[in-house]
Structure 1
Amino acid sequence: MSATAEQPPFRPRTVLLIVGVAVIAFAGFLLLIAFAPPFQGGHDARGHALSTSGNGYAGLVELTDAIGSHSLIVRDTDLLGSSALLIVTPEYDSDGAQLARLLAARAGHPTLIVLPKWLTRPMPDNREWSLKVNTIWPEGAIAALDKIAPKLAVDQTPFRKTVIPPQPAAIPRLARAAIGGQREQQRLVGMGFTPMLLDRDGRVVMGKLIGRPVYVLADPDLLNNQGLADPWTARQGWQVIDDLSTTNEIAFDLTMNGFAKQADKSPLRLIFQPPFLPVTLCIVLAALLAGLHGAVRFGAPIAAGRAIAMGKRTLVDNAAMLFRAARREHRVGAAYAALTRDLTAQATHAPARLSGEALDHYLDRAGRNAGDPPYATLAWRAEAAEDRDQLLGAARALYRWRRNRTR
């Protein structure tokens, strides 16, 4: 084979470059998985305070700052206890137990829950905008309230429930029923709340849960971007916020929408933060050293040994392996008996003229006091062995016979 054909397909520098790029890319991928959620912009066409789509509430945040109030975006659950009015925008798949914990952390401060209404999906050409699919089914609109208000329900157009009886004049009424120019409407029905805002037909748009400062707005089109696009609706929506707020600060919750900071503390993120960061760096350094040890050879390579070793011992081992593979170990009994007799005669300095039965009788007399069977009997047992166990028994007897004559 020529020297050109033996060259490796890649140069060492190229291999190191490929491995280095792969390691850096994999490390960056892990960092993005661990730290991407806190840096999400929120422009995902969903219904929360960061969304600029029609069912989002980014317009309400801008309106709050433009009017002169201060908007607070709540990502940390430790800030839920703020005394400012907190606007919570759960979605149809929000966890009711999480909402119950959120209200428990509020410690009696006013909270406005804006129910979801629209089932949307991002537009293909602009992922920040939403495309209306349909209205959410009534059970999905109040799914997040199953723990705190199990008797509360919603009714959607065309309304199936009858209009509630006329309420006292102190309850404010909307100037018109069609909020934000939408024909689809959503109203509160059921029990467990006190009406706070009615439309001109007498149906409840917003109610207050009995026994706690928690307000539920049935129709989100009064406050979302789609509704605020209409000046009349924007004026009505801000009047509701202004009536409920006790401070100059309006807080917008994002923890119910999956943007909570504490929810991002995954095990993958923890390994890149103290106190686990030093351990992670030690593991990375150990991996780099192991890779360096495997990439660079220390010392000369070990020469390959022979496939079949040389020497008498190897020949004996190979012969034994052949006998074992053929299951013919018991056929060597006669040869072992003859070898035992020759070694014993040599060790006892038997006369050279003796052979055969004469040598056997001589060796038997040499160990008369040992009490062993005659050599001929032992040799016959070894020769007549039919399996490995019988051969081992005969071989032990011959060995004992030899030891008693040579010690």
Structure 2
Amino acid sequence: MSVEQAPFRSRTVFIIIAVAVVAFAGFLLLIAFAPQFKSGHDGRGHALSTSGNGYAGLVELTDAVGAHSLIVRDEGDLATRDLLIVTPEIDSDAKSLVKLLTARGDAPTLIVLPKWWTLPLPGRQDWSQRIEMICPCGGLYGLEKYAPKLLVEQTPFKAAPAAPGGTPRMAHAKVGRIDEQQRLTGSGFVPMLLDADGRVILAQLEHRPVYVLADPDLINNQGLADPWTARQGWRIIDDLATTNEIAFDLTLNGFGASKNAKHPLQSVFEPPFLPVTLIIVAAGFLAGLHGAIRFGAPAAAGRAIAMGKRTLVDNAAMLFRAARKEHRVGAAYASLTRDLTAQATHAPARLSGEALDQYLDRSGKAEGDPPYATLAWQAETAEDRDQLLSAARALYRWRRNRTR
């Protein structure tokens, strides 16, 4: 008799299960912390982007000159006292910017206005291709709440600038290799830096430590590629910074989330629910280990329906019991008892009916038993299970007294 072999070895099964568990755990982590795991190399304008309109170069420059960069992904970290550089995009939510400025309070905040409409370069998603300048029409990403008359002007400039006296100016009118320029106009702000023509590049909102940089090409990756522009751009950051740490906001660009709006799965991997998660994982590991180790030979599976006369009788009895018709078998049991008694006592074959009953009654060794006819009648007329059981016991006793 050959023993059937398992299709896989135990080591192979263990490796498959381990890989599946690790893959599933990684899948859950990616779902829960997807914003934190984003590389940011998507060709957009934020502190992680390495494209021309991104600001990853400014982050590296901050660390290179001896300062410290801080990437802010959680809204709970917006209350830092360091200078926070905010880079809204063309589709940024104005209400989110207002909420950010409210959370900042009186901490210094630099808002770098977007300038270019770009798309990721096909085949190089971390690069971007310039389409055209963004139309400066409409509200300025929520800044109209603080400076309703603040506007953006782009080349070609239509009106002559009103150069405030005593405001610093840049040495050149152009920014790096880019001819298209973007400046601030209107009112509700205090000019802090002008271009060579006297137009406002950098301004502070009135009565608030909020600074607005009109032209992002001063500090984005494309601008920092030019040495002169890099010096001018870093001078702006250095003048506005109050500490040795520069913070870069990513919440407005869709990275991270607030503690109240985070993914529900994050709670499973963070305190105070992290110990419960570890306990469940340990319990699952022990349950799997218990199921993987077999103690003794496996029990052979039996037949769904056993073979033999006894099984047939038991099944028939179950059917009678399920139908509640046990008392209807009394006559058959009485007839079977008489036939078995006649065989055991070697009754003459010519006898039948009442003659056989009288013969069997006389053959009893014990006196006092009722006649067979009476016992048979009691079995036939039984109305329930208890009456049938009493009559069957009497018939069995009658048969035993005549056959022993």
- What TM-score, normalized to structure 2? 0.65
Task: Map 1:3-402 onto structure 2 (within 5 A).
Answer: 3=2, 6-30=4-28, 42-64=40-62, 70-75=67-72, 80-123=78-121, 126-138=124-136, 142-143=140-141, 145=143, 152-157=150-155, 163=159, 166-174=162-170, 177-188=173-184, 192-199=188-195, 204-246=200-242, 250-258=246-254, 267-309=264-306, 310=308, 314-315=312-313, 317-318=315-316
Is the 8 Å Cα contact of residues 38 and 259 (structure 1) preserved in structure 2?
Answer: yes
Shift of 1:14: 2.2
Q: C-alpha displacement at 1:113, in angstroms?
A: 0.3
Q: Is the 8 A contact 1:43 1:127 kept in 2?
A: yes
AA at the equivalent of 1:86: L
**Aligned residue number for residue 370 of structure 1:** none
**1:204: Cα distance to partner?**
4.2
- Whole-Å Cα distance in 2 between the matches of residues 164 and 318 of structure 1? 110
Distance 1:170 1:269, change over 3 A: same
When the two chains are superposed, the root-mean-square deviation of aligned CA atoms in Å is: 5.0
SS class of match (1:102)? helix
The letter for the 1-side match of 2:114 is P
Structure 1, residues 119-155: CA drift from partner, whole Å, max 9, x if none?
3344456554333344445469933547655664545
Q: Structure 2 CA distance, aligned partners of 1:12 and 1:63? A: 55
| Cα-to-partner distance string for 1:271-318 (whole Å, 9 max, x where unaligned) | 445543432232122112221232232344344344334566854754
- Look up the SS of the partner of 2:69 in the other structure: strand
Distance 2:332 2:137 in 1: 97
Q: 1:301 to 1:169 in 2, by over 3 A?
A: same
Structure 1: distance between partners of 2:167 and 2:300: 96
SS at match of 1:180: coil
SS in structure 1 opposite 2:85? Answer: strand
Distance 1:353 1:257 in 2: 102
Q: Give the letter aligned to residue 308 of structure 1.
A: I
1:304 partner letter: A
Unaligned runs of 5+ in 1: 364-374, 380-393
Residues of 1 paired with 2:61 and 2:9: CA distance?
Answer: 62
Q: Is the 8 A contact 1:194 1:210 kept in 2?
A: yes
Output the CA distance in 1 between the equivalents of 2:132 and 2:75: 32
1:348-386 deviations in Å (ceiling 9; x for gaps):
97655789xxx99xx9xxxxxxxxxxx9xxx9xxxxxxx
Over 3 Å counting, the alpha-carbon distance change for 1:239 and 1:12 in structure 2 is: closer
The SS at the match of 2:176 is helix
Distance 2:176 2:115 in 1: 13
Tell me the secondary structure at the aligned position of residue 305 of structure 2: coil
Q: Deviations over 1:40-77 (max 9, x none)?
A: 665443323343331122333455566x5624324365
Q: What amino acid is the match of 1:278?
A: P
Number of aligned residue pairs: give it.
358
In structure 1, how many angstroms separate the alpha carbons of the residues matched to 2:26 and 2:267? 16
| Deviation by residue 1:88-111 (Cα, 9 ceiling, x = unmatched) | 222334344443343234331322
Unaligned runs of 5+ in 2: 338-360, 362-367, 395-404
Is the CA contact 1:71–1:252 (under 8 Å) kept in the aligned structure 2? Answer: no
